[in-house]
Structures are given as C-alpha cells and as structure tokens.
Amino acid sequence: MTRTPDSWWPDEIEHAGRENLDELHVERYDSKEDADAGTEIHRLQEAAVLGPTSGVVDLGAGTGQFALAAAAVCRRVVAVDVSPVMLARLRDKIDRNGASNIEAVHAGFLTYRHSGPPADLVYSRYALHHLPDFWKAIALARMADVLRPGGVLRLWDVVYGFEPADAQRGIDAWIAETTSTDVDHDWTRPELAEHVRDEHSTFTWLLEPMIERAGFHIVEADYSPSGIFARYLCRKR
Ligand SMILES: C[S@@+](CC[C@H](N)C(=O)[O-])C[C@H]1O[C@@H](n2cnc3c(N)ncnc32)[C@H](O)[C@@H]1O
C-alpha cells in the first residue's frame, strides 16, 4: 500500500499481530489451536445457516481450518487473510486438499472487495481483535455490505465480559489458569499477556453496540465463564 503523509487509512499488516507474520508460529498454528470446525459446521447446518448452496466469506481465515471444512459442504468459500505467511500456509493446504470451490484472497477486513453474489455467511474467528475499536466498527459495516439481507455473521473473539474496574482480576485469572509452557502445542502465559498488551480486544459492552450499529441483530451471544471469550450469531437486518 502506498502511504502519503496525510493518509489516514491504516495498513492492516501493521496490526496483523506479530505472531501471524512469524513463520514458526504459522507452521505450528494447527497444533496449538483447534478451531473445532466440525462442530461449528454442524451447528451452522442445524441452524440452516450453511448448506450446499451457501456462499461463505471467512475473514482472518488463518490456516483455513474452518474454510476448508466449510468448502466440503457449501458452494463457495472465500478465505481472506492479511498475513502473507498465513495465506501461503492456507494455499498450500488448499492445494493438498484439492478443493476447487475455495479461493484464498490476500486482503483484510478493511480492504476485501467481494465479487459475485452477496454472501450467505461471513465467518470470523479470533481475528477482529487485531483492529482498534474505530476500525472494528468500520470492519463490521463492511461485513454487512458483503452479506445478502438476512445473511449471517458468525463472530468469535476474545472479548472481555467485565467492567474496567474488574479487568485486573479477570485478566490475571485468565493468565493464572494457563499453566502450559509448551509453546508448540498450547498458548502460554507470555502469549496471553502479549494479546492483552499489544492487541485490541475490547469489552462486550462496547463491541455489541458496534455489531448492532453495523446493521446486525445479535441472535445468540455465548460467553465463556471466564469472561474472556464471546461467540456471536448475528443476522443482517
Ligand atoms: C488467531 S488467527 C485466527 C485464524 C483462524 N480464524 C482460526 O480461528 O484459527 C488470526 C488471523 O487473523 C489475521 N488477521 C489479522 N489482522 C487481520 C486483518 N486486518 N484482516 C484480515 N485478517 C487479519 C491474522 O493474519 C491471522 O491469520
């Protein structure tokens, strides 16, 4: 991206997360993180959100655990990621999988341009927190633009379900319950601390009005008991 001194649109790669641009992290990502894509696909099928005619856009697709599973049961998947390292891994997996209905696109929440019929489902898991709140609001409005009326946004993220006064307790408890030091297979305390310190996870009570403001109705919101994770099923109004 060419930046002029008065450019105010960010270069999303600068917010992509240090680890997502790191070859070693990307190589071990699937051993560390299980997106539980099979369960997720099953739930979306049961809710009649995903079916053989569906078009899906996965924003921040990473190594494509969900995108590849979705491609097996729907018409078209566009897997979008801003990290060239993640995207290379995803393209390699697509080649090995042989799926012909999945496209890997190098773009971000703020730059992806959809072509073809509007999508039935926008999926985004653990990626939106890379943008600060102003840009999350813009990204959510762009997601609504990609969807057909009545289309669904499935959004998972680290979203804090406590008050600022309780942040020290909530974050400390999350980090304290993480005991693994096996960086190849688990998330470790320094990685969680880095997430809180350097990335842009926000509060549920800030994100949810942004989702509604972008033109969605929040149909379901599931929160982890720890107050750290949230999953939303939202329908475009
Ligand atoms: C923690 S990974 C999640 C990957 C996958 N969604 C999953 O659930 O396993 C976050 C992903 O978001 C991507 N990402 C970061 N900023 C982004 C942006 N502005 N637009 C699109 N993707 C972004 C990263 O490159 C990375 O692949």
Residue minimizing CA distance to atom 18 of ligand 1 = 108
- Candidates 81, 84, 170, 91; CA nearest to 127 is 81
pTM, rounded to two decimals: 0.97
pLDDT tens digits along 137-187: 999 999 999 999 999 999 999 999 999 999 999 999 999 999 999 999 999
Q: Are 55 and 117 in contact (CB under 8 A)?
A: yes
Instruction: State which ligand 1 atom lies nearest to the alpha carbon of 62.
Output: 27
Structural contact between residues 86 and 109, judged by C-beta atoms closer than 8 angstroms? no
What is the per-residue pLDDT across 26-74, written as a single tens digit (0 to 9) for each? Answer: 999 999 999 999 999 999 999 999 999 999 999 999 999 999 999 999 9
C-alpha count within 13 angstroms, C-beta hemisphere, residue 4: 2
φ/ψ of 2, rounded to 5, equals -85, 125
Residues with CB under 6 Å of ligand 1 are 12, 15-17, 20, 33, 35, 59-62, 65, 80-83, 86, 108-109, 125-127, 130-131
